[in-house]
Amino acid sequence: MSKMNGAEAVVRMLQNHGVEYLFGLCGDTSLPFYDALYRLDHGIKHVLCRDERSAAYMADAYARISGRVGVCEGPSGGGATYILPGLVEANESSVPVLSITTDVAVSSRGRYTLTELDQEALFRPLTKWNAVLDRSVDVPRVFRSAFANMTTGRPGAAHIGLPFDVQKGDVEEADVWGDASLGVYPARRVGPDPALVTAAAEVLAAAKLPVIVCGGGVIISGAEAELESLAELLGAPVGTTISGQGTIPDTHPLALGVVGSNGGTPPTRDVVAEADVVLFVGCRAGSVTTERWRFPSSSAKIVHIDVDPCVIGANYKTDAGIVGDARLCLAALRDAIAGPGASQLKGSAGADAVARAKSRKTQAFHELASSDAVPIKPERFISDLQDVLPHDAIIVADPGTPCPYFSAFYPVHAAGRQFISNRAHGALGYSLSAAVGAHLARPNVQTVSVMGDGSFGFTIGEMETVTRYNLPIIFIVLSNSVYGWIKAGQKTGFDERYFSVDFNETNHAKVAEAYGVRAWRVTDPADLKSAIGQAVEHDGPALLDVVCQPLHEANAPVSEWVA
């Protein structure tokens, strides 16, 4: 029988599962793998990054936008430790990312070999599935298992460690096969128990003012149409988490917008607080979404849909829970409710509540968005950006200043994933790298990366990656020379005892220009729209350095900072 080596088998297993992009960077232990990528005809495009963390963030955003498994790779030792932040973010966000880290040879273990560490132990608590190989013959089986675990049930991240000698050993060519359907997610969907659907339908049908709160699971499942039809049947307002933005177009009369302590506002909170039944869908009902479990109220009945059975009932006493894929569960629930008398369920109370909330929120926003104050108010920036950008643009927002403002005030005009922020762990330095993966997943629309200047400092090296591939991404730095989220917390919770949060001003436009990026520095709000328009028209990477009001002086939509 014909044979190939382990590294060649890895390339073929990725190819068999439909992998299009591989994000990563080189190292000594990866030499056999890189040689196989060079020699074989496989169609996989390798994107050379400047940091393993960036490679994982690129794979994460690529997976979120494309609906395919994102794959990143790095070498042993420091490469394995650097790649961890992106992998744990993906795993906790239910995004299937496969991290391949090469390793010292099996025969070198325990001999004080340079870069040796226990990769299996390192990755075990941070991934859904994890393995370090000891034998070359196990490559096909292990990769099949990784793809099956990443894309079925609750999607998540996986790690495979490839020792140097495993990459060079023999593998039978006949063993190298895979199921391409496991390269996309969710795969092998699981439907709901009819009895649980009936119980949930009864609770919702009896509700006077039901409210639906959707997490990222609805978009992951592709359940937007089923969600919208159920909401219209019930006349139920639909709020979302930050990760759930795009579940329903913000132009829909039942679309309440983001709820919770980050990006939610008092008007949207009031609608959730008034609900007598709350349906959580693909949402873990965590601390941010519920403002530390204060909303919905303790008197509200709870119905919960999630693919992970352990999520249901973890934070709220649940009157009816349905376990299964969000799309299948919502369709079954809609069909169960849409029987005789269904037309009587739909009323105007939900839409009226949404209209009042939006009116109050919009009025407060526009008062600030029309300001000509210097430094530029975040609301003015959001307003001008939405006036200029095409409606189908992808926004990738770092935590800090960008996330709450985009979540509260930037409208999503169509259902589906158009907004990304790393909400599982909120690490700085995500947006610039993630925008690369987002653009490659959907290259025909404008991708915009928005970050604070703190985040810019974390990830600036990837500007070289962007220029090397000439990616037409717009990068926007909201500059205020401070770790703003922490300073705002010191203001409201620690009597303005500001400590070690301010840093020197940087001209980010000049830094970007040094990398070959077309850049503008904007200090006057009168120049903002023109600069955004020029960046959109530019055929290549562009950066806007917007000198912006810091969070501790602003009126940010973050409940813990509001008196």
d(CA 312, CA 541): 44
Res 345 pLDDT > 60: no
285-337 pLDDT, tens per residue?
A: 999 999 999 999 999 999 999 999 999 999 999 999 999 999 999 999 999 99
pLDDT surpasses 60 at 390: yes
Can you tell me the mean pLDDT for 129-144? 98
pLDDT reading at 55 higher than 90: yes
Strand order in the sheet with 474-479: 419-421, 394-397, 447-452, 474-479, 542-547, 518-522
- pLDDT higher than 60, residue 341: no
Query: Are 394 and 434 spatial neighbours (Cβ–Cβ below 8 Å)?
Result: no
Q: For 548-561, what is each residue's pLDDT tens digit?
A: 999 999 999 998 88
Position 561 scores a pLDDT of 87
Fold that domain 194-353 belongs to in CATH: Rossmann fold (3.40.50)
CA nearest to 394, candidates 421, 422, 430: 421
Report the alpha-carbon distance of residue 278 to residue 174 in Å, rounded.
Answer: 52
Contact 353, 273 (CB under 8 A): no
What's the burial of 298, exposed, middle or buried (CB within 10 Å: 0-12/13-18/19+)? exposed
Q: How many CB atoms lie within 10 A of CB 310?
A: 10
Q: Among residues of the chain, what percentage have pLDDT more than 90?
A: 97
Same CATH topology for 3-183 and 370-561?
Answer: yes
The predicted pLDDT at position 347 comes to 80
CATH topology classification for 370-561: Rossmann fold (3.40.50)
End-to-end CA distance of the chain: 73
Distances (CA, A) of 529 to 53, 407, 427, 520: 33, 21, 29, 12
User: Contact 442/21 with Cβ under 8 angstroms?
Assistant: no
Range name among 247-256, 417-426, 553-562 with the lowest pLDDT average: 553-562
Name the region of 426 (left: φ>0; alpha: ψ -120 to 50; beta: rest): left
Give the E-state strand segments of 311-355 in sequence order.
320-323
Question: What is the CATH topology of the domain spanning 3-183?
Answer: Rossmann fold (3.40.50)
For the chain, the farthest-separated pair of C-alpha atoms sits apart, in whole angstroms, at: 74
What letter does residue 558 receive in the DSSP assignment?
B
In the predicted structure, residue 360 carries a pLDDT above the cut 70: yes
**Do the Cβ atoms of 149 and 185 come closer than 8 Å?**
no
pLDDT band at 163 (very low <50, low <70, confident <90, very high): very high
Per-residue confidence at 446, pLDDT binned at 50, 70, 90?
Answer: very high
pLDDT score of 175: 98
Q: State residue 563's pLDDT score.
A: 56
Which among 165, 147, 145, 163 has a CA at the least distance from the CA of 155?
Answer: 147
Note the pLDDT of residue 216: 97
Who's near 181: CB < 8 A, 6+ residues apart?
A: 187
Q: How confident is the model over 367-379, as pLDDT tens digits?
A: 999 999 999 999 9
Q: Percent of the chain having pLDDT more than 70?
A: 99
For residues 439-443, average pLDDT: 98
The predicted-structure confidence for 80-90, as pLDDT tens digits, reads as follows: 999 999 999 99
State the average pLDDT over residues 226-245.
97
* pLDDT at site 560: 85
Interval 508-512 mean pLDDT: 98
Residue 126 has pLDDT above 80, yes or no: yes
**For the chain, what are the domain ranges?**
3-183, 194-353, 370-561
511: tokens are 């830094």
Distance CA 146, CA 5 (A): 20
405: nearest Cα among 257, 249, 244: 257
Residue 494 is predicted with a pLDDT of: 96
Q: Which residues pair with 71 in a beta bridge?
A: 98
Task: Express each pLDDT in 166-221 by its tens digit.
Answer: 999 999 999 999 999 999 999 999 999 999 999 999 999 999 999 999 999 999 99
Q: How far apart are CA 450 and CA 402, in angstroms?
A: 6
pLDDT digits (tens, 9 = 90+) for 183-198: 999 999 999 999 999 9
The mean-pLDDT minimum among 85-99, 336-350, 512-526 falls in: 336-350
